[in-house]
Structure 1
Amino acid sequence: MHVSIPVTEDLVDDLGGRYVLYSVYLEGFILFKVRYKELHFWDEQMHRVFGKRLPAFPPKYYLAMTKSMAEERRTMLEHYLQEIISDPVVSSSEIFIDFLKKRQLATYKMPTIKLILKVYLADGRHVEVGGQSSDTAERVLETALYKLGVSRELKEYFRLFITHKDSNGAFTVMKQIAHFEIPFITIWNINNDSFQIEVRKWYMDPSTDVMLMGCAAAVDLLYCQAVQELEMNWFRPTEKQRQNLQHFIKVDNKIKFLEIMQEVEHYGYMVFGPCTAHLAETSSIFTVSVGSNELFCSNVNENFCLPINLMIQWHVNMHVQTEKSNSQLTEFKLEYKQGQQRTWITICSEQGFLLSSCLKKILSEQPVTLVKENLEIIENKSPTNIFNRKPRQVKVPKNKISRSFSCEQNNVFESLDFSL
């Protein structure tokens, strides 16, 4: 999850005292607003539980802050929140989730009331989830999957997303909803009927489908999502594969359909676009997709295929910082190595944070893949041209992959270090 504090407000309280209100953004969408003293009190409470596991909290200033001091505090708070949200032990704790729930509700002056939330499937069906306006995404997802008949053990393979379909029918996955977010507030704050909450699979390795085949309800979710993405031309089936897929749609054989999908090029990819991409000293509109250990850019003139093991680092900048916007334009910058040369590419998109999350998801799944199959990631020892080509595959020991993430000012900065 990518945290930033791009917006601050200088305000005056009821007693005439001045204070700063920080707008905390998650994945490019505003999550809540908070004062320093509220975060400080929360940190003191968490220290009683987690002690030295927590990062250092920005110190108090007893004199009036200068502009440089205010900027330093904003940056330190951003780093602090990034670190604790990235810690799975802290971010799954009751004290963490309760505070974020209260801040989200307080920011939007939202009372805790009973309601019914619609959670959509990829084929347009929906399930109605009864609960409260304060329910987190984790609870909403659990309830939705239960009503759909999906085994509880399979919950880890699914997530809630914000999706968008415009008047022309173009479909976009905007963001994944974090487990501690309140989906009702997220969708209410967008306030646009073309956005909706949708349950979708959350893994990048298509062979993981086999783990869900024993549950008919899970198969139904995979099937309707695959059919949707096939209709949107996210995949590249051969003519024979397309005919077979259409046949099994007609006879409603979901298992056979998904079995054929395993052989279809680009099945399991997440598609982003159209995006403005700056590649090899040129700038053009591309459709960007991520999957199968690669980032793939294409348009009518060329294809650009970048294996993940050639990537050195990437970072995401959020440029549009207006709360009235339903989404934020981001600049995704990625450095890769081609031979002895290091090159940057830049992708401008509303989905930069989701693109980053998908690449991290591929990395997180690689050790599992290597253990499960003894296995392969994509490598090219002496790449000379990564345009219009298919990378070959070689075996790489799993202990040769390392990765680290850090945060730098307004940017969520992620560095990937490969030793091959």
Structure 2
Amino acid sequence: MHISIPVTEEVKDSLGGRFVLYSVYLEGFLLCKVRYNDLHLWDEQLHRVFGSGVPSFPPKFFLAQTKAMAEERRLQLEKYLQELVSDPSVSSSEIFIEFFKKLQLETYKMPSIKIILNVYLPNGEQIKVDAQTSDTAERVLELALYKLNLSRELMEFFSFFLTRRESNGTYTVVKRIVGFEIPFLTVWGLEDERFQIDIKKWYMNPSIDAMLMGCTTSINLLYIQALQEMEMKWAKPTEAQRRKLEHLSQTEDKIKFLELMQEVHHYGYIQLGPCTSDYPEPFTPVNVSVGNAEMNCCFMLAEDRTKNISFHINNFTSWQVTFIQAHKGAAVPVTGQQLEFKLEYRQGDALKWLTIYTEKAFLLSSCLKKILCEQPVARAKEDLEIDIETSTTKKSSRKHEQVGGNTENKTLLTNKSENKAFDGFRDIDL
């Protein structure tokens, strides 16, 4: 999750006094507005619960603030909140969730009342959820998936996403809605009927599909999302794959359809759509998608030429997302804030930078972080397979009295242990 405070405003209280109101943005969208004093009181409560595990809170000023002091406090509060949301034990706690729920309701001046919240599947099917205006995304998602009869053990593989459907059929994923966010307010605050809440799978490694194949509901959810990817031409099957997929969809053989989709290029990728970049020259249009341990960029060059480059996650050294002033020719996000995604990557022995201007920079960053989180799981599975293979080889070697039968397996283990590109990364660094 990405917390930022790009905007502050000076407000008068009921007694005529003045205070600063901090606009807290989550994943590039306004989450709430809060006063320093309210955060300070909350910090004291957090310290009583979590002790020294809570980061240092920006100190009070006992003299009038200068502009430099006000900017320093804004940056310190931003860092403080980012460190809190990066700690799962804090961000999943009741004291954290209830505080931000209260702030969201106060910011949007919304009472807690019963509503029927519409959420959607990738095929446009509508699910009506009996909820409260104050229900968090985690609660509403649980209600929606329960209504679909999804096994509770599989709920962690799905999430809410804010999406936008245009009248011409264009469909884009705008952002992931995180657990402590109030989804009703996320959509209501935008005041635009093109936005809606969709249920989509939330993992980037297509091989994870196999873990969901024992549940009819999860198979259906994966199937209709895969059909959408084919319809929108996000997935890139070969002609032979396309014909076989069409046959499998006609016969409704969903499991074989999904098994074949795992072999299709760009299956399960999240599409960012049109962006601009500084490569190969400033303001070059580029279509960006991310999934399966890579970020794919299709650069639009002169004379209707294109250039595709895939950046593998193992070659990334760092990236950052920054709020900046809008550039001429760059996309303007819904929030009114221009975002810059700056990537440092390794090309041979050299380090290079790529800058992408997009309203979905936080979504891109979240997807890349998700890829990093999934890599240890994939490595553990590979280690298990290698250990089994090594053991089998040793038995075979003893049986046939062959020398050095497991040399190849030792090499595989050595190469895997040397992959330490992200060992020093922390959530706050990304």
Same fold (TM over 0.5): yes
Kept in 1, the 8 Å contact 2:58–2:73? The answer is yes
Provide the rounded CA distance (Å) in 2 between the counterparts of 1:32 and 1:196. 20
| Structure (1/2) with the larger strand percentage | 1
Q: Which residue of 1 aligns with 2:93?
A: 93
Show CA shifts across 1:305-338 (max 9, x none).
Answer: 21111111110112369x9945643111101121
**Residue in 2 that maps onto 1:142:** 142
Aligned partners of 2:162 and 2:357: how far apart in 1? 19
Task: Give the deviation of 1:405 after TM superposition.
Answer: 3.8
Aligned AA for 1:287? N
| Cα separation, partners in 2 of 1:285 and 1:133, compared to 1, 3 Å | same
Q: Secondary structure at the match of 2:22?
A: strand
1:363 to 359, 368, 372: 372
Q: Is the 8 A contact 2:119 2:199 kept in 1?
A: yes
Work out which of the residue numbers 302, 305, 316 in structure 1 matches 2:307.
302
Distance in 1 between residues matched to 2:426 and 2:76, nearest whole Å:
16
CA spacing shift, 1:197–1:404, aligned 2, 3 Å: same
Q: Does 1:40 align with 2:45?
A: no
1:274 match: secondary structure: strand
Q: Tell me which residue corresponds to 2:20.
A: 20
SS in 1 for 2:306: coil
C-alpha deviation, 1:293, in angstroms:
1.6
Q: How does 1:229-240 map to 2 (within 5 A)?
A: 229-240=229-240
Q: Deviations over 1:241-288 (max 9, x none)?
A: 101111121122211110110111121221211111222456521211
Whole-angstrom CA distance in 2 between matches of 1:217 and 1:196: 22
Q: Which residue of 2 aligns with 1:60?
A: 60
In the TM superposition, what whole-angstrom CA distance separates every residue of 1:358-417 from its partner, at most 9, and x where no partner exists?
Answer: 1111111111001112399xxxxxxxxxxxxxxxxx95227724142466xxxxx52xxx
- Cα separation, 2, equivalents of 1:255 and 1:108: 44
Inter-partner Cα distance in structure 2 for 1:328 and 1:402: 32
Q: What is the CA distance between 1:168 and its match in structure 2?
A: 2.1
Q: Specify the alignment match of 1:187 in structure 2.
A: 187
The CA distance in 1 between the partners of 2:347 and 2:333, in whole Å, is 41
User: Aligned runs of 1:18-417 on 2, under 5 Å?
Assistant: 18-281=18-281, 283-299=283-299, 300-319=305-324, 325-326=334-335, 328-374=337-383, 395-397=415-417, 400=420, 401-405=422-426, 414=430
Q: In 2, Cα distance between the equivalents of 1:160 and 1:293?
A: 22
Q: d(CA) in 2 for partners of 1:403 and 1:28?
A: 26
Letter of the aligned partner of 2:343 in structure 1? Answer: L
Contact 1:204 1:362 in 2 (8 A): yes
**Contact 1:32 1:104 (8 Å CA) reproduced:** yes
Aligned to 1:68, the other structure's residue is in SS state helix
Report % sequence identity.
57
TM-score, normalising length: structure 2: 0.87
Note if contact 2:333-2:359 (Cα within 8 Å) is conserved in structure 1.
Answer: no
CA contact (8 A) 1:375 1:395 kept: no
Distance in 1, matches of 2:117 and 2:384, equals 42
In the aligned structure 1, how far is the partner of 2:424 from the partner of 2:25? 24
What letter is aligned with 1:308?
A: I
| Greater CA drift, 329-338 or 117-126 | 329-338
Kept in 2, the 8 Å contact 1:162–1:175? The answer is yes
CA distance in 2, matches of 1:398, 1:211: 28
Give the counterpart letter for 1:366 in structure 2: Q
Q: Distance in 1 between matches of 2:80 and 2:282?
A: 38
Question: Which residue identity is paired with 1:336?
Answer: Y
> Does the CA contact (< 8 Å) of 2:161 and 2:176 recur in 1?
yes
Flag the structure with larger Rg.
2
Output the TM-score relative to the length of structure 1.
Answer: 0.89
Give the superposition deviation at 1:296: 1.1
- For these two proteins, the number of residue pairs brought into alignment is 391
Q: Distance in 2 between matches of 1:262 and 1:209?
A: 8
- Aligned CA RMSD, in angstroms, stands at 2.0
Deviation string for 1:5-44 (max 9, x for gaps)? Answer: 1110111211121110000000110000000000001111
Shift in CA distance, 224/395, structure 1 to aligned 2, threshold 3 Å: farther
CA contact (8 A) 1:29 1:327 kept: no
Read off the aligned partner of 2:367 and give its amino acid letter: C
Partner of 1:190, secondary structure, is: coil
More helix by share: 2
Letter paired with 2:374: E
Structure 2 stretches lacking a partner, 5+ long: 300-304, 327-331, 386-413
Contact 1:370 1:398 in 2 (8 A): no
